Amino acid sequence: MKILLIGSGGREHALAWSIADSPLTQQLVIAPGNPGMAAYGTLVDIAADDIEAICDYAAAMPADLVVVGPEVPLVMGLVDRLHERDIPAFGPTAAAAKLEGSKEFARAFCQRHKIPQPAFFPVDDYATACQHIDALGDCVIKADGLAAGKGVVVAESAAEAKQAAKEMLAGQFGSASSRIVIEQKITGPEASLFALLDGENAILMATAQDHKRAFDGDAGPNTGGMGAISPAPRLSPELENEVMERIVRPVARGMAGEGMPYRGVLYVGLMLTADGPQVIEFNCRFGDPEAQVILPRLRTDIVSAMLATTNNSLTHFDMRWDSRSAVTVVIANQGYPGAYSKGSAIKNIEAADNQNDQFVFHAGTALDASGQLVASGGRVLAVTGLADSAAIARARAYDAIAKIDWPEGFYRRDIAAS
Ligand code: GLY
């Protein structure tokens, strides 16, 4: 098969690695990709949100399957445009991707289908926002639309919540925050569950827990994720079943019933509250860095799983996983998630990658004019260790990091430490 993969982050590197390993893959092209992915396919310089150029390229290949990694092209309707041209694509349509693209849509959908979640109030004016904040006390403020992972404030006080609401409604994230959702704050351990949905049926993939804050001890600003562990330590098989029955299957049935069948990966962000698992958010794609910790555990051909998803035949699909644990640690550019400089040299990755169950996935990397690998983004590498226990997997990830020569990078020392 000829496969076109869209994206350039660590998640897409992990996807490229898995797709290239499939016996079904004859040709893999990645748009735009990163230097680490060049080992698995041909990179073409088309941005992930250039919908027309991607469709034209896929038609010319012709692609047997287009795999869409990031949320932006999914929410923009890339899969719809590909379907219009009879090109098979893995990922939800724009209507289905609204589960991530609009927090208000997702909350109202859960309410219609009795899916457990906190109380919520969508608003578009500051005075009403303040009334809800005062009534709720502890609350979470969310931009309705996509905000590159920055549109959520878990407020420590009413004053902080009001400030966040004010800034968002004033256009902090452009039209993505012209409406906001004010939610009751719920407490408990967080975990994520990934499922495949074929428009009707849903099967469990795997679980993970990420670490969103920039610094050790869960201090500092929120990031896209500084590391992750899989399986999620606190999601027992019983809880996994409960999440599938009370959340994931109702989503599959509900979306189909409302004429928006969901096909693709559903990433369910969960809070394990005293009253049971509740939905924090849905994402319409693999997580990043969760893909880098989940996919090394996958023992089933990923392309077959994607085809079963797009062909509505997941019911009897047998997805197998390595029972071992995986831990991934992100190495980020100094300054991330704020401003950072680009162009510092990264050396000795070869010594850390693909040995002793250690894997290095590139994200914000580039080659300079001399061919030297340099940092070009905020999150730059994700280093994964796989082992019989979480403790050894973690030691493997940190052991691999110690071999990488990039003094300008920083990473958390406490990923999967407890
Ligand atoms: N790691 C969080 C996300 O992918 O949204």
> Tens of pLDDT along 277-333?
999 999 999 999 999 999 999 999 999 999 999 999 999 899 999 999 999 999 999
Burial 90-99, CB ≥16 within 10 A → b, else e: bbbbbbbbbb
Single out the residue in 310, 336, 354 at which a domain terminates.
310
**Do the domain assignments include residue 364?**
yes
**Do the domain assignments include residue 98?**
no
Angle value at C-alpha 85, between 81 and 90, nearest 5 degrees? 60
- Where does ligand 1 bind, in terms of residues with CB under 6 Å? 149, 210, 224-225, 283, 287-288, 290
Minimum-distance ligand 1 atom for the alpha carbon of 149? 5
Q: How many residues does the chain have?
A: 418
**Do the domain assignments include residue 88?**
yes
Q: Does the model's pTM come out above 0.85?
A: yes
Contact criterion met (CB below 8 Å) for 13 and 35: no
Domain identity same for 84 and 129: no
Give the model's pLDDT for residue 103: 97
Banded model confidence at residue 356, pLDDT cuts 50, 70, 90:
confident
89-108 average pLDDT score: 98
pLDDT score of 382 more than 90: yes
82-106 average pLDDT score: 98
> Residue 367 and residue 251: Cα distance in Å, rounded?
42
**Do the domain assignments include residue 350?**
yes
> Residue 382 and residue 106: Cα distance in Å, rounded?
30
Give the model's pLDDT for residue 355: 78
Return the best residue to mutate from 72, 190, 267, 292 for the ligand 1 pocket (most ligand atoms within 8 A of CB): 267
41-70 average pLDDT score: 98
**Do the domain assignments include residue 315?**
no
Domain identity same for 212 and 174: no
Give the model's pLDDT for residue 178: 94
Long-range contacts for 158-163 (Cβ within 8 Å, ≥24 apart)?
Answer: 158/133, 158/134, 161/133, 162/126, 162/129, 162/130, 162/133
Domain identity same for 369 and 395: yes
Banded model confidence at residue 221, pLDDT cuts 50, 70, 90:
confident
**Do the domain assignments include residue 231?**
yes
Residue 243 token pair: 């999440």
Residue nearest to atom 4 of ligand 1 (CA): 287
Residue-number span of the structural domain to which 61 is assigned: 2-93
Q: Inter-axis angle of helices 158-169 and 126-136, to 10 degrees?
A: 160
Contact criterion met (CB below 8 Å) for 74 and 90: no
Minimum-distance ligand 1 atom for the alpha carbon of 288? 4
Domain identity same for 271 and 360: no
Domain identity same for 142 and 168: yes
Domain identity same for 197 and 296: yes
> Residue 110 and residue 104: Cα distance in Å, rounded?
10
Domain of residue 177, CATH code = 3.30.1490.20
Give the model's pLDDT for residue 142: 96
Total structural domains in the chain?
A: 4
Domain identity same for 211 and 301: yes
**Do the domain assignments include residue 318?**
no
Banded model confidence at residue 354, pLDDT cuts 50, 70, 90:
confident
Domain identity same for 154 and 238: no
Indicate the residue type of 2: K
Residue 326 token pair: 């995986």
Single out the residue in 160, 184, 208 at which a domain terminates.
184
Given the DSSP bridges, would you call strands 227-230 and 263-273 parallel, antiparallel or unpaired?
Answer: unpaired
Domain identity same for 282 and 384: no
Give the range among 51-55, 112-116, 149-153, 231-235 with minimum mean pLDDT: 149-153
Give the model's pLDDT for residue 418: 72
Minimum-distance ligand 1 atom for the alpha carbon of 286? 4
The single residue listed with the structure tokens 């009795």 is 114
Which residues on adjacent β-strands are paired with residue 410? 332
Domain identity same for 142 and 196: no
Neighbours of 347 (CB within 10 A): 12
